[in-house]
Amino acid sequence: MPVLDFLEIAQANKPTGKQDTFELFARDFFKMLGFEILEGPDRGQDGGRDLILLEKRPGIIGNTEVRWMVSCKHKAHSGKSVTDSDEQDISDRLTAHNASGFIGFYSTVISSPLGRKLEALKLRGYEVLIFDNERIETQLLENSKGKDIARRYFIKSFTKWESFQNEPANLFNEYEPLRCKYCEKDLLDRKIIDESIIVFVEDIKFSEENNYEKSKYVDIYFSCKGRCDSVLEHHYLQQNCITKWEDISDIIIPNKYLSWNMAVLNRVRDGEDVYTDEAFSKLKQFILKVSQLVVKNRSEEQTERLRQLASIPSYL
């Protein structure tokens, strides 16, 4: 499954003030790979938006320089592949830029006719490279410089992916799983977290009596989406309660985790939400256990300091 969502990069043909973002992204991408940028997207010639790169190849008797022309096509918003009609007059453009290599930098895949057209270009002695969405992603996630770029251009999808990469933090004396109320699987397990939810069980009568301006939560449970949840939901429906759920995989995104916690606090402070003791205790359990995936590991020194303070959390 792809990690980076190219829809996060603004569409090229809409005058949003951000329509050059894909080209700027390309510039940063090729800089990271070690190319020198001779002409950036802001100095595009002939109305085109091609980048011109210089690659220095070390050899025994000195460096060889290869000039590349990069053609950027950001079609992720239409979801269409890059076709041969998107790439007109490639060899003329290469000649105009005095380039001996062509790079297609695309946020979707290329069509087979374009693939054949590029093969023909190779036969004529040009070098050809294609970076489609998948290849761009692989390059970015491979090293720390690439990850910095991904973080800048794909803030949402990258941070989400990143939070799954880390092992749970060593917050507590030992790892605390968050169990599905029905099947007891650990919902924080990377393999199933995309299907994990937190469910708030609300007293319908209480809402009615308060003109739906207040909610009373009689319980909170954690479960897998689908069968586990429907069994549990059914049980509460019979008790005149309704349920509201949220994806745990969203809540573990650090920014979201903070704003989610703030929202919970604000609603309690404003008297909009009332919790039974049981529901409130589950809420605290949730916040603590999920934090293992949100906060970073503590260092050796911090662990030592915690020992000195004798304050290793014991409030689970």
| Residues at the site binding Zn ion, with contacts judged by CB under 5 A | 180, 182-183, 224, 228
CB of 235 vs Zn ion, minimal distance in Å? 14
Distance CA 46, CA 141 (A): 34
Exposed, middle or buried by CB within 10 Å (0-12, 13-18, 19+), for 131?
Answer: buried
Please say which residue, 114 or 180, places its beta carbon nearer to Zn ion.
180
Which residue is it, tokens 């995989």?
Answer: 249
Exposed, middle or buried by CB within 10 Å (0-12, 13-18, 19+), for 168?
Answer: buried
Q: Given strand 273-275, what is the order of strands in its sheet?
A: 241-247, 196-203, 215-224, 273-275
CB 20 within 8 A of CB 41: yes
CB of 192 vs Zn ion, minimal distance in Å? 8
CB of 232 vs Zn ion, minimal distance in Å? 9
Please say which residue, 118 or 180, places its beta carbon nearer to Zn ion.
180
CB of 245 vs Zn ion, minimal distance in Å? 13
Please say which residue, 171 or 228, places its beta carbon nearer to Zn ion.
228
Please say which residue, 50 or 229, places its beta carbon nearer to Zn ion.
229
234-271 CB burial, b ≥16 within 10 A, e <16: eebeeeebebeeeebbebbbeebbeebbeeeeeeeeee
Please say which residue, 180 or 283, places its beta carbon nearer to Zn ion.
180
CB of 261 vs Zn ion, minimal distance in Å? 25
